[in-house]
């Protein structure tokens, strides 16, 4: 009864909150209905094909993993490098990381076609497959996130009547530095391997970039903490309470801004080497096809570079802008847009380019074409609903912010 009373006290039923829950419920309902359709009919009801086998769902998967990178980045800064300035937001970062990685797994369950075989990589080892290594790393890191976040759940008011739960949570918190170290190692492995997945696909010339692992790591390390910062600011607006010190917010902004510049530097030289200095026929032909049949130039220069890197970096770095929370939220959202379109361009647009060869034959496949249909968008809406529900429950019931460090 005490637990039920605690829950009732934690929930303030207002018309706005009811409308918010109704919106989340609608998103989840759409996701469930479309998921049932996919499970019963199969991937044939999507717009994916043999030519373009990866679409919206894999874009969400890669984006969610990148956006959850604030967990291992900020945890490493706090517990390994002892930068206490980031401590007030590290719990929220772990929650956002958990949401990001579980969202990615939900999209994979829909995309693999046979979700009943999710356990195969753990039993049937294929040590020559990058995707096999990614599967191992993601599942291990998700387990680490569960252990990292368990103390926060144990310290919530829901377990106030069971003191031993808080004792266990306190003991688990003591191993946080070890978890941060392991999490950093595992995260760097799979974040880079996601880029390496594209770097080794030589038959798709536009994908063959040895710099892809570095760009995947830098983009995730830059945007993950920025998204966590933006969520923290929005929580302050909604609750009307100061949760994160201004110096912490500005430190995260500067960190993300300079990391975005490093990402832009690698991206610029990669583009220059591939298109201007490399003079590789396959890559040049691929760019010509993309520019002719897709809005690649616009999505790359405008959405990825200008909106996703340049403007956020300016907002995050210069004091004139990073002292204004609204601009920081705008910068973080623009950086998220940049990540989304980068992963889309890498995953989907790259598939538009025909195979340069088929071993042993002279066959060349036609240029690809793809746009998500209502079933794929329905799953995406359901994933968004799941993420919003998790962050709402976390804000309502969990001690996401250390009150000793918020003043």
Alpha-carbon span 227 to 334, nearest angstrom: 10
Instruction: Dihedral sign for Cα 144, 98, 223, 112, please.
Output: positive
CATH for 17-356+363-399? 1.20.1630.10
Provide CB contacts within 8 A for 103, sequence distance 6+. Answer: 60, 64, 383, 386, 387
Domain range annotation of the chain = 17-356+363-399
Neighbours of 276 (CB within 10 A): 8
Per-residue pLDDT of the chain (407 residues; tens, 9 = 90+): 445 555 555 556 788 899 999 999 999 999 999 999 999 999 999 999 888 889 999 999 999 999 999 998 999 999 888 898 999 999 999 999 999 999 999 999 999 888 888 888 889 998 888 888 888 988 999 999 988 888 888 888 778 788 878 788 778 878 888 888 898 889 888 888 888 888 776 567 677 777 888 999 999 999 999 999 999 999 999 999 999 999 999 999 999 999 999 999 999 888 877 666 556 666 777 788 888 888 888 999 999 999 999 999 999 999 999 999 999 999 999 999 999 999 999 888 888 877 655 454 455 566 778 999 999 999 999 999 999 999 999 998 899 986 554 44
Q: What are the two backbone dihedrals, phi and then psi, of residue 46, each rounded to the nearest 5 degrees?
A: -95, 175
Neighbours of 143 (CB within 10 A): 14
Per-residue pLDDT tens for 120-167? 888 999 888 888 888 898 899 999 998 888 888 888 877 878 887 878
Alpha-carbon span 401 to 389, nearest angstrom: 19
């Amino acid at each position: 009864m005490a637990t039920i009373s605690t829950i009732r006290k934690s929930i303030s039923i207002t018309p706005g909150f009811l409308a918010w829950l109704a919106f989340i419920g609608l998103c989840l309902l759409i996701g469930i209905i479309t998921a049932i359709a996919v499970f019963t009919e199969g991937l044939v009801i999507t717009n994916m094909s043999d030519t373009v086998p990866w679409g919206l769902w894999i874009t969400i998967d890669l984006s969610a993993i990148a956006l959850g990178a604030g967990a291992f980045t900020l945890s490493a800064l706090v517990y390994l490098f002892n930068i206490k300035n980031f401590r007030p937001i590290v719990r929220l970062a772990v929650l956002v990381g958990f949401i990001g990685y579980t969202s990615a797994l939900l999209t994979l369950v829909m995309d693999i076609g046979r979700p009943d075989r999710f356990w195969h990589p753990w039993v049937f080892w294929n040590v020559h497959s990058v995707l096999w290594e990614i599967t191992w790393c993601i599942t291990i890191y998700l387990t680490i996130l569960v252990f990292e976040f368990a103390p926060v759940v144990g310290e919530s008011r829901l377990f106030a009547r069971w003191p031993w739960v808080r004792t266990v949570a306190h003991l688990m918190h003591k191993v946080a530095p070890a978890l941060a170290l392991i999490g950093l190692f595992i995260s760097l492995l799979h974040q880079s391997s996601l880029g390496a997945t594209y770097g080794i696909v030589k038959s798709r010339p536009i994908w063959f970039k040895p710099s892809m692992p570095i760009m995947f790591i830098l983009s995730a390390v830059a945007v993950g903490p920025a998204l966590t910062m933006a969520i923290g600011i929005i929580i302050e607006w909604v609750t009307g309470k100061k949760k994160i010190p201004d110096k912490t917010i500005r430190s995260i902004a500067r960190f993300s801004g300079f990391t975005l510049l490093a990402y832009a530097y690698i991206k610029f030289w990669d583009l220059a080497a591939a298109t201007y200095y490399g003079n590789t026929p396959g890559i040049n032909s691929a760019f010509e096809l993309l520019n002719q049949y897709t809005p690649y130039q616009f999505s790359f220069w405008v959405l990825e570079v200008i909106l996703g890197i340049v403007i956020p970096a300016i907002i995050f770095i210069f004091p004139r802008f990073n002292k204004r929370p609204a601009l920081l939220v705008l910068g973080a959202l623009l950086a998220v847009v940049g990540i989304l379109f980068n992963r889309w361009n890498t995953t989907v647009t790259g598939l538009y380019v025909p195979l340069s060869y088929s071993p042993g034959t002279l066959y060349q496949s036609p240029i690809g074409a793809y746009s998500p249909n209502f079933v794929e968008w329905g799953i995406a809406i359901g994933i968004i609903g799941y993420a919003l529900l998790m962050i709402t429950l976390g804000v309502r019931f969990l001690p996401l912010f250390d009150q000793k460090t918020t003043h």
